[in-house]
Amino acid sequence: MVVTHNLGFPRIGAKRELKFALESYWKGQSSISELKIQGTALRKTHWNVQSGLDWSPVGDFSFYDQVLDMSLTLGNLPLRARDYHGDPLDNYFRVARGRSAQGTEDHAGCCSGIAAGEMTKWFDTNYHYIVPEFTADTEFKLDATRLLAQLAEAKAQGVHAKPVIIGPVTYLRIGKTKDDSSRLNLLPRLLPVYSELLDTLAAQGVEWVQIDEPALVTELDADWQNAYNLAYHHLKSIRIKLLLATYFGTLQENLYLACNLPVAGLHLDVINARNEIQPLLNLVSSHKIVSLGVINGRNIWKTDLNATLDWLEPLAERLGERLWIAPSCSLLHVPVDLNSEQKLDTEIKSWLAFAVQKLDELRVLATALNQGRAAVANELKANQGALASRRASPRVSNPAVKQALARITPELGQRQNAYPVRAEKQAAFLKLPLYPTTTIGSFPQTAEIRQARSQFKAGEINNTDYQSAMQAEIARCVREQETLGLDVLVHGEAERNDMVEYFGEQLDGYAFSHFGWVQSYGSRCVKPPILFGDIRRPQAMTVEWIKYAQSLTDKPIKGMLTGPVTMLNWSFVRDDQPRSVSCYQLALAIREEVLDLEQAGVRIIQIDEAALREGLPLRRAQWQSYLDWAVESFRIAANGVTDETQIHTHMCYSEFNDIIAAIADMDADVITIETSRSDMELLDVFDHFKYPNQIGPGVYDIHTPNIPTEQHMVELMKKAALRIPAERLWVNPDCGLKTRQWAEVIPALTHMVAAAKTLRAAAV
Catalog residues that contact Zn ion under the rule CB under 5 A. 610, 652, 735
Q: Using CB under 6 A as the criterion, what x/- string covers residues 637-676 for binding ligand GLN? A: -------------x-x------------------------
Min dist. Cβ of residue 745 to Zn ion (A): 15
Min dist. Cβ of residue 650 to Zn ion (A): 6
DSSP summary character for residue 524: E
Q: Count Cβ atoms below 10 Å from residue 579 Cβ, excluding itself.
A: 18
Min dist. Cβ of residue 610 to ligand GLN (A): 4
Subset of 548-587 contacting ligand GLN (CB under 6 A): 560
Task: Tell which one of 163, 175, 441, 698 touches ligand GLN (CB under 6 A).
Answer: 441
Min dist. Cβ of residue 367 to ligand GLN (A): 45
Angle between helices 66-73 and 145-156 (to 10 degrees): 110
Task: Tell which one of 415, 422, 712, 738 touches ligand GLN (CB under 6 A).
Answer: 738
Measured from the CB atom, the residue of 170 and 439 that comes closer to ligand GLN is 439
Segment contacting ligand GLN by CB under 6 A, of 225-233, 452-460, 613-621, 730-738: 730-738
Residue 470 binds which entry of ligand GLN, Zn ion, none, CB below 5-8 Å type-dependent: none
Segment contacting ligand GLN by CB under 6 A, of 382-390, 589-597, 708-716, 735-743: 735-743
Q: Which of 507, 505, 510, 506 is nearest to 348 (CA)?
A: 510
Measured from the CB atom, the residue of 114 and 702 that comes closer to Zn ion is 702
Q: Are 355 and 324 in contact (CB under 8 A)?
A: no
Measured from the CB atom, the residue of 46 and 738 that comes closer to Zn ion is 738
Could you give the CA distance from residue 72 to residue 66 in angstroms, rounded to a whole number? 10
State the chain's maximal CA–CA distance in angstroms.
84
Segment contacting ligand GLN by CB under 6 A, of 54-62, 307-315, 721-729, 732-740: 732-740
Q: Which amino acid is at 346?
A: T
| Residues belonging to the chain | 764
How far out from the chain centre does Cα 106 lie?
34
Min dist. Cβ of residue 113 to ligand GLN (A): 26
Min dist. Cβ of residue 514 to ligand GLN (A): 23
DSSP summary character for residue 326: E
Q: Which amino acid is at 141?
A: K
Task: Tell which one of 161, 186, 735, 756 touches ligand GLN (CB under 6 A).
Answer: 735
- Which residues have CB under 8 Å from 228's CB, separation 6+? 169, 213, 216, 220, 257, 258, 261
Task: Tell which one of 38, 442, 639, 732 touches ligand GLN (CB under 6 A).
Answer: 442
Task: Tell which one of 499, 588, 631, 716 touches ligand GLN (CB under 6 A).
Answer: 499
How far out from the chain centre does Cα 451 lie?
27
Task: Tell which one of 358, 736, 753, 755 touches ligand GLN (CB under 6 A).
Answer: 736
Segment contacting ligand GLN by CB under 6 A, of 77-85, 113-121, 162-170, 436-444: 436-444
Min dist. Cβ of residue 614 to ligand GLN (A): 12
Measured from the CB atom, the residue of 288 and 738 that comes closer to ligand GLN is 738
Q: Count Cβ atoms below 10 Å from residue 689 Cβ, excluding itself.
A: 14
Angle between helices 32-49 and 355-371 (to 10 degrees): 30
703 noted as active-site residue: yes
Measured from the CB atom, the residue of 30 and 445 that comes closer to Zn ion is 445
Q: Which of 325, 266, 298 is nearest to 10 (CA)?
A: 298
Residue sitting closest to ligand GLN (CB): 736
Q: Count Cβ atoms below 10 Å from residue 20 Cβ, excluding itself.
A: 15
Size of the site for ligand GLN (CB under 6 A): 13
DSSP string, 40-102: HHHHHHHHHHTTTSSBEEES---SS-HHHHHHHHTT---GGG-S--S-HHHHHHHHHHS---T
Residue 11 binds which entry of Zn ion, ligand GLN, none, CB below 5-8 Å type-dependent: none
User: Which residues make beta-bridge pairs with 162?
Assistant: 57
Q: Are 563 and 569 in contact (CB under 8 A)?
A: no
Measured from the CB atom, the residue of 308 and 562 that comes closer to ligand GLN is 562
Q: Count Cβ atoms below 10 Å from residue 416 Cβ, excluding itself.
A: 13
Min dist. Cβ of residue 526 to ligand GLN (A): 12
Measured from the CB atom, the residue of 35 and 610 that comes closer to Zn ion is 610
Residue 441 binds which entry of Zn ion, ligand GLN, none, CB below 5-8 Å type-dependent: ligand GLN
Could you give the CA distance from residue 293 to residue 121 in angstroms, rounded to a whole number? 22
Segment contacting ligand GLN by CB under 6 A, of 20-28, 210-218, 435-443, 581-589: 435-443
Angle between helices 305-319 and 377-392 (to 10 degrees): 140
Min dist. Cβ of residue 672 to ligand GLN (A): 9
Reading phi first (left if > 0) and then psi (alpha if -120 to 50, else beta), residue 142 is in beta
Measured from the CB atom, the residue of 66 and 442 that comes closer to Zn ion is 442
Q: Which one of the listed residues 234, 703, 712, 751 is annotated catalytic?
A: 703
Measured from the CB atom, the residue of 76 and 676 that comes closer to ligand GLN is 676
Measured from the CB atom, the residue of 111 and 610 that comes closer to Zn ion is 610
Q: Which of 169, 146, 128, 133 is nearest to 69 (CA)?
A: 146
Rg (the chain; Cα; Å):
27
Residue 143 binds which entry of Zn ion, ligand GLN, none, CB below 5-8 Å type-dependent: none
- Which residues have CB under 8 Å from 270's CB, separation 6+? 277, 292, 293, 294, 328
Q: Are 571 and 531 in contact (CB under 8 A)?
A: yes
Residue 608 binds which entry of Zn ion, ligand GLN, none, CB below 5-8 Å type-dependent: ligand GLN
Subset of 369-428 contacting ligand GLN (CB under 6 A): none
Could you give the CA distance from residue 558 to residue 555 in angstroms, rounded to a whole number? 10
Q: Are 545 and 589 in contact (CB under 8 A)?
A: no
Q: Using CB under 6 A as the criterion, what x/- string covers residues 605-624 for binding ligand GLN? A: ---x-x--------------
Measured from the CB atom, the residue of 80 and 703 that comes closer to ligand GLN is 703
Q: Which of 692, 568, 571 is nearest to 629 (CA)?
A: 568
Min dist. Cβ of residue 484 to Zn ion (A): 20
Min dist. Cβ of residue 395 to ligand GLN (A): 29
Angle between helices 17-26 and 32-49 (to 10 degrees): 170
Segment contacting ligand GLN by CB under 6 A, of 152-160, 440-448, 740-748, 753-761: 440-448
- Residues with a known catalytic role: 703
Binding residues vs ligand GLN (CB under 6 A): 440-442, 493, 499, 560, 608, 610, 650, 652, 735-736, 738
